[in-house]
Structure 1
């Protein structure tokens, strides 16, 4: 039954629930009202019986019982003297036959069945000069039953009308309340059939449904932006992959054409190997970006372990770039607490250092370059600083430096435009930021800032908002 109820439309469920609640409440109210009316009717009947017996009780109490007169027309009464003699009896014969029983039952008002009819009977004991008299007053119960029956019918009709009206009102109110939802549904159906730049309609009322529509529109805009970025990334990736693939194809064709000299064949194969290495690096970077997009939780390592990672990357980079005029130095903060935890894994910091050092060497374009790598603690933050003197970044690229595949005019060859986006993505997952401090014609400093565990406490990543990156202009001001 519950499953069948869940299959109904919301409007039907609201109406059915409202009708059920109204039915229960009105039924309870009807029962209470009926019981109260029944009590009132009984009190009224008791008053009538008291009015019948009152003259006899007064006359007996005053000692004038010898001249007791019969009651008025239609009144049912009986008077029994102390000796048990019945002086007055206008009761129905079936009830008179039970007079001794009625006298013995006492004073309470009760219903007695006699001759196929029900009677309300009240017996009163009155003390007279000769002893105790008994006055019995009766009234046909049909009057009370008729009144209660009419009241019951009126209450039942009122319950039905109230419940029906409540159901109709609930249907109308639910229809009006769900009208914005229906507009949202139609709007969503139109967006599904004809994707564009339209959004869901937002009603004029500032209510929960309007808030839902605004939140859904925000979600739609974010999804559209994400889809557009994904399309742009696929387009850029296709372009970046197509060029080295075409070069590799040409190099292999030249190597296989005719019977080239051994020296030229070796040169072509070396060029093909370099192109293949570039393709492999590009594929690795794309895979890492996709993993960063799906990653929700940061890594974790002790600051001292990450310091060892920085040293290892610097030593590895020295060997990798030993053939060029490149010098790479590192500086590790000796005062830092090596046991403080940082939301970066060793592999993540390794990737950051490797990318930033490679960017600096690539920016030098074969010229002599000096790279300084520093790993320090500054207050509640751990900072990695990579400074070079490779001439700085093209000012045209600074505002879009963290966008994927950014390689504008004047950018050095050999890069994929994914190094800084990867660094920014890792820092963002860790709750940190990346700062660019560009010195045109001099060099570039990249600072990666991530929150560190407070001394003797747990990480406080949520204590203050962090930006994924920042850029320092020529005047030293920080901007997004």
Structure 2
């Protein structure tokens, strides 16, 4: 069995086909040979009965003393009630056995002699003078020879047909596996080069085509993942270069200010702010990588997500302390059964991350544009929209801040994307890393949702995050 596993699929398919064909043809040959043998046997028995019938009729009619002689080629023996052989054309080797053959009953008997094989039947006839025996026989050597020749012919045909079947199975297996060979050659080319080619997909809609489509999807995902990693390394290197250079300069200035305690303290505090920015950047990069690499999906009920939005509003109001920015929310009235029995494929914590990022960006943008006394508003709304059978939970965050330039909107969710004056800080030097909206988009994408951003008129920004929800009762999760 272990040796069989080491063989190629083509060889294993051929061996399996040959074994099946061998069993099938051997069974067919056995059945044919057995049926032919039975037919010959029944024909011989009918001939023996035909040979015996005229003599039985004459004896029954009282003409036993004047029986006709058997025809040429007939093997017939007539035994009188006294046990005497009145007439016999049996061969010499059967003559001594006539008494035993006559007394054996009506069953068909096979007699083997050195000269030939015989088929014998015995029939009793009741007459006025007693019980007569009519024994007939036929030489079965010719029939046996015919059966033997047929068996040999079937065996030769069995070997030839099995060999042809094996050859055909080899050709069919080779033709069926040809797309696999083409995919393997293409895979070797992809492995040894930076080609963007995909595995060939055959015209047939079969299992191999489905495999090629699946592998092409996997290759596309791997390439996209590799491209994201390369882009992440490139962007991170670019983003880290400036703060690291600033930190190095600040540390050099701290060395130069060693004799001035006040100046040294200022440089240390500045270096601390730079280190904090680096830590936040590293944490955001790790968070984004974790989100994009998530394989399992968490879920939370609509009621839990609504409660998390309320908590997020409270956190946003703390951020807005010291300014005139008003943070408010509106919750669409949800039936308790709906809120508890419908869920989205996003955890409560991740939904809070989405809400915190959107609300925090809005508050920071207003503070950067209008200062502490901005007098603006930030509002969030949670509602269920769409088809009642397949509803969508929609989070809408609207602010009266400066908005974004129309040219920048398509790039807003890119990593490290920032306008000249960022929405997440007061000035370019104090701006964030530009990863907040990327994290929001990654979280929504992992939940099967979407996030869009549009400018409002006359000012402000509107961000809409949609996540599909499904019934827990329908999925058999609800109790």
What's the TM-score, normalizing by structure 1? 0.85
Question: 2:320, 2:326 within 8 Å by CA — same for their partners in 1?
Answer: no
Matched, 1:165 2:168: no
Alignment of 1:311-390 (within 5 A): 311-323=310-322, 325=323, 327-333=325-331, 335-337=333-335, 340-341=339-340, 342-343=343-344, 344-364=346-366, 365=368, 367-368=370-371, 369=374, 370-379=376-385, 380-390=391-401
1:326–1:457 Cα change, 3 Å: farther
1:115–1:405 Cα change, 3 Å: same
> Please, what is the CA RMSD of the aligned residues?
2.9
**1:421 aligns to what?**
438
Question: 1:248, 1:275 within 8 Å by CA — same for their partners in 2?
Answer: yes
Deviations 1:365-387 (A, max 9, x none): 25244342324333544443322
Question: 1:108, 1:122 within 8 Å by CA — same for their partners in 2?
Answer: yes
Deviation at 1:297, TM superposition (A): 4.2
Question: 2:254, 2:267 within 8 Å by CA — same for their partners in 1?
Answer: yes
1:43–1:275 Cα change, 3 Å: same
**2:407 aligns to what?**
396
Structure 2: which 5+ runs fail to align?
Answer: 386-390
**2:121 aligns to what?**
122
1:390–1:265 Cα change, 3 Å: farther
Deviation at 1:57, TM superposition (A): 3.1
**1:183 aligns to what?**
182
**Aligned equivalents of 1:217 and 1:273: distance in 2?**
48
1:210–1:296 Cα change, 3 Å: closer
What is the total number of aligned residue pairs between the two structures? 458
Deviation at 1:316, TM superposition (A): 3.8
1:446–1:52 Cα change, 3 Å: same
**Aligned equivalents of 2:146 and 2:299: distance in 1?**
84
Deviation at 1:114, TM superposition (A): 4.9
**Aligned equivalents of 2:163 and 2:324: distance in 1?**
89
1:387–1:271 Cα change, 3 Å: farther
Deviation at 1:293, TM superposition (A): 1.5
Secondary structure, aligned partner of 1:107: coil
**Aligned equivalents of 2:460 and 2:58: distance in 1?**
128
**1:153 aligns to what?**
152
Deviations 1:135-187 (A, max 9, x none): 11112332332222112111111211111111111111111221121111111
**2:465 aligns to what?**
448
Question: 1:80, 1:133 within 8 Å by CA — same for their partners in 2?
Answer: yes
Deviations 1:30-85 (A, max 9, x none): 11111110011112222332343344334434543333344344542211123322
Question: 1:310, 1:375 within 8 Å by CA — same for their partners in 2?
Answer: no
Structure 1, 59-68 or 281-290: larger mean CA deviation: 59-68
**Aligned equivalents of 1:86 and 1:27: distance in 2?**
48
Question: 1:302, 1:338 within 8 Å by CA — same for their partners in 2?
Answer: no
Deviation at 1:25, TM superposition (A): 1.0
Secondary structure, aligned partner of 2:432: coil
**Aligned equivalents of 2:307 and 2:377: distance in 1?**
18
1:254–1:459 Cα change, 3 Å: farther
**Aligned equivalents of 2:267 and 2:360: distance in 1?**
25
**2:29 aligns to what?**
30
Matched, 1:433 2:450: yes
Deviation at 1:117, TM superposition (A): 5.1
**Aligned equivalents of 2:145 and 2:432: distance in 1?**
101
**Aligned equivalents of 1:201 and 1:301: distance in 2?**
42
**Aligned equivalents of 1:397 and 1:371: distance in 2?**
23
**1:11 aligns to what?**
10
Deviation at 1:88, TM superposition (A): 0.9
Secondary structure, aligned partner of 2:325: strand
Secondary structure, aligned partner of 1:134: strand
Secondary structure, aligned partner of 1:98: helix
Deviation at 1:9, TM superposition (A): 0.6
**Aligned equivalents of 1:408 and 1:112: distance in 2?**
111
1:311–1:217 Cα change, 3 Å: closer
Question: 2:448, 2:468 within 8 Å by CA — same for their partners in 1?
Answer: yes
Structure 1, 340-349 or 251-260: larger mean CA deviation: 340-349
- Select which of 403, 417, 432 maps to 1:406: 417
**Aligned equivalents of 1:328 and 1:382: distance in 2?**
24
**Aligned equivalents of 1:367 and 1:103: distance in 2?**
131
